[in-house]
A and B are shown apart, each in its own frame.
Chain A
């Protein structure tokens, strides 16, 4: 019995150690951000840095000497906000109506196909979107633009397309979660389908829809590569729909490769500013989803009533007057919309948006495949050809191998640590105790850090560890930090979904905690964990910003081991499309990239479904 007790203790210690690694990762990132940005903030002045509108760094600037460059990021803050707003306008509106279409107007068979396509599109790498922007959107826009088409409009369109899947799938889920009884109640009183949809169903799903938009905003804020490829990147204000401008993420990725001392500090500080925006968005998201939960618990959806209960009396009276007026305004608007038959308009919009989204998505993938597949067919040596120095015959075999290395290494690091942390949090730690809350908050914050900030961290913290030049190991370490929150969260979610009755059943038979976890809880949670692993794989393959300066950006020879560097597939696509004279190769690379990601997604779904079925006992695969 003592042997089993020792085993229990060792198990717990190992899980706790994993959780501590997570905390160390978070602390390291924050320490890095603070230590690196504080001198810059001190030297440049917080105010001048945030609100100065000239960015002209001098890489020779040091902290000891007077500055010769100017460091102000106001143009980029404005640029980031403008790009995000544009993306929300396009992707948000289109996504909202597409979700309405899918949830309420779409024939079932089309819905299944379209939903699957949209969720697959969520996995398409951002460089592919950026590439599509370069080869399709910019030439198209240049016909009406004074420049080559780059600028705010192109950025907003590309970012909009990128947040579309997020908005559509989350809104759709919350719309479908509205009880069927609401619909029946409304229709039973003689309301039309559309009136029911827009007056009953959508208002009931409002908080979920808002949350999906907020998440979309978060994604748009942190996006780097796609924006870099179509925004132009001159450090100026976005001037109208066209014209070069720069966002915060782009600022980091444009200059971190060759930054001097103060410049580097200023870039980290840019990351801090970016992170502040993202955290703000997450805070709003937390508030929104918190309200959803509270509303669900108290069965009260009207926040006005709750607010009017608290507060001092004059304040309350003011509020009641205001809300009365708001109500009247609302009634007026509703009467107007009834007279204008806005519901019909909404119905039309929904159908149009569904069709448009489908068409746009087909266009992105179709265009790239149409251009890339024939080339790939005629030049298969692109994929498996041997690298020759100085040759014009490009081969992406090294990039593929590098990508595989990165996938393997980062999963080997992130998955065990993440899964064990989740086990510690969910199975061992006392819920709601202070350390647990700290770990959870840390992981939430880690999830919000934009990928380019990880890249910056990896470049400054990991690259010097392994000989000072980029290496697969440094890149994988960087990305595995980025994967941690995803792995921890989704593992925890699937652990939480395992019924406590199973744990009790095992414990009541005299099994210890460790055995209960390993034999009963983990197998039940396996489908969820597996799909998290697959998604993480997809993410490693798609990411480019964190790899650019940690793993390398040169398409060269095959790597011999994890200490060699080189471009991953996504980075290779970025390089090829930027240089301009390997466009065919770029198309083909994009095809390979999309094919891998899509295959992975399908595989993940298939695996999860199969495991799920086996767990439910519908097939008898065992024995």
Chain B
């Protein structure tokens, strides 16, 4: 029974995301306008665009974090694999399959170990051996095991900013998500930590789909396979990263990537 609870949520979510005609309002303000997109499985997809263009808002639709915003209204169809996530879906199940890493590292005020074990414990894993294994695998996946294996019992708040962010990634990995959403995960970090996280993204695509919002266009070119450019709530252009940055179809995209506005 318990094993069941651990391994499979009630609904099986896929690894690709398909959105058609998404509109989103915060009260009277329309933040997304008729956005449609097909995000492929096990690749890195980057969203770029100036501040306030709706890219983070769009990202947060995929795990329904927008539900927490008062006055937020969503229209359109959002599918993860075959599942309509705004239909009869358990939000907690969804978020378990679609993990998220935030702009500012947000480790819980607990030990490193407890931070990572938090997710599995939420879904009913309580055996120490099992938890130990999950913690180790997650830390190894996020390339932190050697750094942290001797300080698992220490408070996570004592780590450096870069370590905290990678810990948050490990924490997200601990529930074995199908997709990980990253909302400007490196904007608060130094270049070395940023590099480590970018490497991590690459290795993670073996098993996970990654959608990353970034302000940094070099980052998008470095790590993403696909790029979407957002402006004023619209998805202006979406395609292979190489095409977007070398041969943009839309003049607005071109002006943005050549640094003429935003």
Determine the distance from Cα of A505 to Cα of B172 in the docked complex, in whole angstroms.
9
Interface residues of A in 597-623 (CB under 8 A from B): 614-618, 620, 622-623
A508-B63, A615-B157, A622-B153 are contacts. A430–B70 as well, Cβ < 8 Å?
yes
Residue of B nearest to A4 (CB): B92
Q: Please tell me if the beta carbons of A510 and B65 are within 8 angstroms of each other in the complex.
A: no
Select which of A5, A505, A623 is within 8 A of B108 by beta carbon: A505
| Residue B90 is within 8 A (CB to CB) of chain A in the complex | yes
- Tell me whether A524 is interfacial, beta carbon within 8 Å: yes
Interface check A141, CB cutoff 8 A? no
Q: Which of A266-274, A342-350, A435-443, A515-523 contacts B (4 or more CB under 8 A)?
A: A515-523
Q: Which residues of A contact B96 (CB under 8 A)?
A: 509-510
CA distance A7 to B70 in the complex (A): 24
Q: How far is the CA of A606 from the CA of B148 in the complex (A)?
A: 31
Whether the Cβ atoms of B106 and A616 lie closer than 8 Å is no
Measured in the bound complex, the distance between the Cα atoms of B171 and A430 in whole Å is 29
A505 touches B122 (CB 8 A): no
Cβ of A116 under 8 Å from chain B: no
Q: Which of B107, B108, B157, B175 is packed against the most chain A CB atoms within 10 Å?
A: B108
| Bound-state Cα–Cα, A520 to B121, Å | 13
Chain B 82-124 near chain A by CB (<8 Å), digits 1 or 0? 0000000010111111011010101111110110001100110
B109 adjacent to A524 (CB under 8 Å): yes
State whether B108 touches A520 (Cβ < 8 A). yes
Q: Which range holds the interface residue count of chain B? A: 35 or more
- Say yes or no for B68: interface residue by CB 8 A criterion: yes
* B139 / chain A contacts, CB cutoff of 8 Å: none
CA distance A398 to B133 in the complex (A): 57
- Given contacts A511-B92, A622-B111, A623-B113, A504 and B65 within 8 Å (CB-CB): yes
Minimum CB distance partner of A617 in chain B: B155
Q: Is B255 an interface residue (CB 8 A)?
A: no
A139 within 8 A of B: no
Q: Quick check: A509 and B172 within 8 Å, CB to CB?
A: yes
Write out the residue numbers on chain B whose beta carbons fall within 8 Å of the beta carbon of A501: 102, 104, 106
Contact (Cβ within 8 A) B122 A510: yes
> Is residue B154 contacting chain A, with contact meaning CB distance below 8 A?
yes
Instruction: Please report the C-alpha to C-alpha distance between residue A92 and residue B51 in the assembled complex, in whole angstroms.
Output: 50
Query: Would you call A431 an interface residue if the criterion is a C-beta within 8 Å of the partner chain's C-beta atoms?
Result: yes
Q: Which of A1-26 contact B (CB under 8 A)?
A: 1, 4-5
CB distance from B4 to the nearest CB of A (A): 11
A residues 480-523 near B (Cβ < 8 Å) are 499, 501-502, 504-512, 515, 519-520, 523
A523–B114 Cα distance when bound, in Å, is: 13
By the criterion CB–CB under 8 Å, are B113 and A523 in contact? Answer: no
Q: Could you tell me how many residues of chain A have their Cβ less than 8 Å away from some Cβ of chain B? A: 30
Residues of A within 8 A of B157 (CB): 615-617
Given the interface pairs A515-B122, A620-B153, the reply to whether A505 lies near B95 with Cβ below 8 Å is: no
Contacts of B99 in A (CB 8 A): 508-509
Q: B37 near A: Cβ within 8 Å?
A: no
Instruction: Contact check, A623 vs B111: say whether CB atoms are below 8 A apart.
Output: yes
State whether the Cβ of B61 lies closer than 8 Å to any Cβ in chain A.
Answer: no
Query: In the complex the two chains form, is B70's CB within 8 Å of A431's CB?
Result: yes
User: In the bound complex, how far is the Cα of B114 from the Cα of A519, in angstroms?
Assistant: 11
Contact assessment for A507 and B68 in the assembled complex, using a CB-CB cutoff below 8 Å = yes
Q: Are A519 and B109 in contact (CB under 8 A)?
A: no
A524 surroundings in chain B (CB, below 8 A): 109
B152 within 8 A of A: yes
A509 and B68: CB pair below 8 A?
Answer: no
For residues 155 through 179 of chain B, which have their beta carbon under 8 Å from a beta carbon of chain A?
155-158, 168, 171-172, 175
Inter-chain CA distance A1–B89, complex, in Å, is 11
Contact of B158 with A511 in the complex, beta carbons under 8 Å: no
User: Are A519 and B175 in touch, CB under 8 angstroms?
Assistant: no
B9 to chain A, nearest CB (A): 8
Within the complex, what minimum Cβ distance (angstroms) separates B112 from chain A? 10
A508→B65 contact, CB < 8 A: yes
- Set of chain B residues within 8 Å of A620, measured between Cβ atoms: 111, 151, 153-155, 158
Q: How far is the CA of A317 from the CA of B171 in the complex (A)?
A: 65
Q: Do residues B119 and A616 form an inter-chain contact, with CB atoms below 8 A? A: no
Which residue on chain B has the smallest CB distance to residue A508? B100
Cβ contact within 8 Å between A510 and B106: no
B152–A509 touching, CB < 8 Å: no
Given contacts A617-B155, A617-B157, A623-B153, contact A509 B102 (CB under 8 A): no
Judge whether B95 and A509 touch: CB under 8 Å: yes
Residue contact B108 to A1, C-beta cutoff 8 Å: no
Flag if B104 contacts A511 (CB, 8 Å): no
The chain B residues found within 8 Å of chain A, CB to CB, are 9-10, 63, 65, 68, 70, 90, 92-97, 99-100, 102, 104, 106-111, 113-114, 118-119, 122-123, 151-158, 168, 171-172, 175
Pull 13 A–B residue pairs with CB atoms less than 8 Å apart, ordered by A: A1-B9, A502-B108, A504-B65, A505-B171, A508-B95, A508-B99, A510-B92, A515-B122, A519-B108, A523-B110, A617-B109, A617-B154, A623-B152
Beyond A508-B65, A620-B158, A622-B153, 11 additional pairs, beta carbon < 8 A? A1-B9, A501-B102, A506-B108, A507-B95, A509-B96, A509-B119, A509-B171, A510-B119, A615-B157, A617-B154, A620-B111
